[in-house]
Amino acid sequence: SEIGGKNLFCKEIEESLITKKIDIAVHSLKDMASVEITSLNIAAYIERNDPRDAFISFKHSSLKELKNGVMGSSSRRRDLQLKLINKGTLVKNIRGNIDTRIQKLKDGLYDGIVLALAGIKTLKLEENIKHIFTTEEMLPAVGQGIIAAQCRKDDTNISKLLKKINNEETKQCAIAERTLLKTLGGDCDTAVGGYAVIENNELILSAQLFSDDGDQDFIYKVKGKREDGVSIGILAGTELLKKAGNSFKKK
User: Is the distance from CB of 53 to CB of 135 less than 8 angstroms?
Assistant: no
Residue of 23, 31, 50, 212 with catalytic role = 31
Q: What is the DSSP letter of 247?
A: G
Which backbone phi and psi does 60 adopt, to 5 degrees?
-130, 145
User: Is the distance from CB of 182 to CB of 238 less than 8 angstroms?
Assistant: no
Q: What is the DSSP letter of 73?
A: E
Nearest-Å Rg of the Cα atoms of the chain is: 18
Catalytic-residue membership of 53: no
User: Is the distance from CB of 5 to CB of 74 less than 8 angstroms?
Assistant: no
Q: Work out the burial of residue 11: count CB atoms within 10 Å of its CB; fewer than 13 is exposed, 13-18 middle, 19 or more buried.
A: middle
H/E stretch holding 40:
strand 40-45
Query: Which pairs from 160-166 meet CB under 8 Å and 24+ separation?
Result: 162/24, 162/43, 162/44, 163/43, 163/44, 165/44, 165/46, 166/43, 166/44, 166/45, 166/46
- What is the set of active-site residues? 31
